[in-house]
Chains A and B, each alone.
Chain A
Amino acid sequence: MSHSFPNHPPEPDAAVRLDGVTKQFGAHVAVSDLVLAIPRGSIYGLLGPNGSGKTTTLRMIMGILRPDRGSVTLLGDDSNGSARQRVGYLPEERGVYKKMKVIEHLEFLGEIRGMTRAIARQRAMTWLERLGLLRWIGKRVEDLSKGMQQKVQFIGTVLHDPELLILDEPFSGLDPINQNVLEEIVRDFHARGTTIVFSTHLMDQAERLCESVCLISRAEKVLDGDLREIKRRERSGAVAVDYDGDAGWLHGSDVDAIEHTASGVRVQLRDGGDPQALLQAAMSAGVKIRRFEIVEPTLHEVFVRHVGDETAAEAGLPSPHEGTGGAA
């Protein structure tokens, strides 16, 4: 099952690079021969259904698991080195030291990333203020509401101003307010040049946030690259046209099928058919064009096209409309 597009030439300045990484648990192959280069400064989505190997991949990037084969380079270092201190990692299993005070919990997380306690405290205060938790500073974490605990988790992840953020299913389990808070933090860090990698099984969310993506299914990479480029490549030759006037122009030689929609038509072109020619035909027929759009596939459609509908369903990939997280 290799629908992989030819690999891009390796990025010279990748924040994370995986080279032929394989990980097995007993007889189960979790990740198979994965090659990845995550460009510095990008928002990168690691997409795939549950159980496809996303978490294992991220754990190998963080040096928590050692690959059986292949190599991992993290911020120019191998993933067992001190580079890990420059990463903000929010695992899917998000925890807090319940019995600790909020500020001490954050100080500890700063300290293990090599910060002094004083600086960690100062940064923690700034963040607590920004997220409106300043007056909870001396409370035990367990006394906070779940939503507030999630904010404390975000702060713990970004406290040390990481060069790279690795977030495993970061939006799952968040209430809409915290989804926005997290999205804002992500965009904020992105604007400052931080590389952001996150995994999700929600395609529409990835579509909104990511610049680059990697789709994986059943331990293998399906495709990866720049999201816009992927979509351009994956166009199916469909054009959506809303118009007023006679329909005669729609019967050109390039047109394969016509489907009527609520506002107009969806025209399926033959292989190699040129949308420009269709537009030309419409103009010369003198119809009034209200909308002319080259239809790009959704990520979900791309994924299904590559792994097949059955595999996608079997893998438990939600259809794009039943997901959560589309609030914003």
Chain B
Amino acid sequence: MRIVMAVIRREYLQRVRSKWFVFGTIAGPLFMIAIFAISIVFGLRDEARERAIVIVDRTGVLYEGVASRLGESLEVERVEFSEGVEAVLESRIENREILGVLLLDESTLSAGRAVYRGVERPSTLRVVWIRQAVVESALEVRLQGASDAGGARALLDGGEVEYQALDGEDPEANDRRAALVVGFAGGFVLYITLLVYGIQVMRAVLEEKTTRMVEIVISVVRPGQLMLGKILGVGAVGLTQLGIWVLSFLLLLTFGLPYFLAARPELLAIQNAAEFIPQAGGLALFGVFFVLGYFLFSSLYAAVAAMCSSDEEAQQTQMPVTILLVLPMMVLAPIIEDPHGPLGTWLSLVPFFSPILMFPRFMAGAPFWQVGVSLLLMVVTIVIVAWIAGRIYRVGILMQGKRPTLPEIVRWVREA
């Protein structure tokens, strides 16, 4: 055990200290923080320079509606129309006392047209927003004459289309659809991480070969111990990296998001995204699929590396293993369409595809027994694959030069 620990420690420290790791792990969150920070800084700067918008309402009926709609995030000031007021306001704009002037007149009421005067071009978002406030207010005013103004106002607040399935599908189906999307995002994350860390294990195993250290190490550390140490060491690096990312993401959500929303209130909708973060059960299952998937694929990549003597050779030889990871990504589209159809059900039970396909299906409400069966099949497969990979490893790790043929590999497995 002490030996395995030494191997894990070496693998872990060497990787965690590498420039690649420091850059990849720290740069990721920093990039995220930078984006947030930039929005906040720009947002705050806008807000700091925020001056009132003057509304000149020549209709006399629109101001209340427009002001209340814009007032949520802008300061508005009412100025009555009179001769020469425009010149006064323009000089105020040029003196940076106010941001701009919104001119409302009869054409606003009749056709929803308004004029905004200023020296700083407003953002597209703000234009949309002002237009919406103006049009809604105009509609509201014109509806006041109608008999059923209350109902019409309800229409203004936005309608809803409810889906009713003929076969009595339960009403939560829509939520499940959203959950499925989140699930597939999770599956995609699994795909990327399994691929990235699998390749890392391959590199790690090749290290002993390319540095010619293998014989010295193997003379004391059994090949099985070395392989285990490599897999656990790289796995620990992966967990560290994911841990740093998740932690900085949570920190951002907790401390950064309020500032962000304060600066950019129009993006309030992103708060809703939090609803789609899977609950504890889903997260735990994600973890289980990651760990099992990692053991499965890292053993395969370790075996590949054991057969090869150089990075280039390993790049070619890894194809079959990588295809096992890519295949489920290729059938993703039909499975998103029909997650619990025969294709989705059967493929997600294939151990090599389970992490990428079964996790999203679980999020979309696949029966527990199917998840259970897929986990069980994965465990059994891991045992078998680890056994075979260990035997390939034991023989292959000492090989230099020619890559073995398939019959030779079969012989290794039998004879090792």
Contact = CB atoms under 8 A, between A and B. Distances in A.
Nearest to A142: B211
Contacts of A64: 215, 218-219, 398
Interface stretch (B2-10, B183-191, B288-296): B2-10
A52 B208 CA distance: 26
Given A90-B216, A95-B212, A96-B213, 11 more contacts: A65-B398, A89-B215, A93-B212, A95-B216, A97-B213, A99-B14, A104-B13, A111-B2, A111-B3, A112-B217, A113-B220
Given A99-B14, A111-B2, A114-B2, A94 B219 contact: no
A84 B220 contact: yes
Contact of B6 (A65, A84, A94, A111): A111
A98 B14 CA distance: 11
Interface in B1-43: 2-3, 6-7, 10, 13-14, 18
B219 A89 contact: yes
Interface in B126-153: none
B214 interface: yes
B219 A95 contact: no
Interface string B198-237: 0000000001100111111111111000000000000000
Contacts of A87: 219
Interface string A48-65: 000000000001001111
A85 interface: yes
Given A111-B2, A112-B3, A98 B216 contact: no
Contacts of B6: 108, 111-112
A64 B220 CA distance: 9
B10 A94 contact: no
A94 B10 CA distance: 19
Contacts of A156: 216
7 contacts: A64-B215, A90-B216, A91-B216, A93-B400, A95-B212, A104-B13, A156-B216
B385 to A, nearest CB: 23
Contacts of A241: none
B215 A91 contact: yes
A100 interface: yes
Given A108-B10, A111-B6, A97 B211 contact: yes
Contact of B213 (A84, A95, A113): A95
Contacts of A85: 220
B325 to A, nearest CB: 28
Nearest to B217: A112
Contacts of A203: none
Contacts of A98: 211
A84 B216 contact: no
A55 to B, nearest CB: 10
- Which one of A95, A98, A113 has the greatest number of beta carbons of chain B within 10 Å? A95
A62 B219 contact: yes
A109 interface: yes
Contacts of B10: 97, 100, 104, 108
| Chain B, interface SS category | helix
A96 B208 CA distance: 9
B221 A112 contact: yes
A114 B5 CA distance: 11
Interface string A84-126: 1101011101111111100010001101111000000000000
Nearest to B229: A112
Contacts of A95: 208, 211-216
B123 to A, nearest CB: 50
B1 to A, nearest CB: 11
B215 A100 contact: no
Interface string A225-249: 0000000000000000000000000
Contacts of B18: 99
B216 A109 contact: yes
A240 B262 CA distance: 105
Contact of B7 (A59, A62, A112, A114): A112
Interface in B383-415: 398, 400
Contact of A91 (B207, B208, B219, B222): B219
Nearest to A82: B220
Contacts of A91: 215-216, 219
Contacts of B7: 112
A94 to B, nearest CB: 6
A99 B219 CA distance: 21
B220 A93 contact: no
A93 B215 contact: yes
A94 B220 contact: no
- Which one of B2, B18, B211, B222 has the greatest number of beta carbons of chain A within 10 Å? B211
- Which one of B14, B18, B207, B219 has the greatest number of beta carbons of chain A within 10 Å? B219
Contacts of B216: 89-91, 94-95, 109, 156
B175 to A, nearest CB: 50
Given A64-B398, A99-B14, A84 B219 contact: yes
A227 B337 CA distance: 81
Contacts of A93: 212, 214-215, 400
- Which one of B13, B18, B216, B218 has the greatest number of beta carbons of chain A within 10 Å? B216
Interface string B149-193: 000000000000000000000000000000000000000000000
A51 B99 CA distance: 89
A94 B212 CA distance: 6
Contacts of A114: 2-3
A111 B11 CA distance: 14
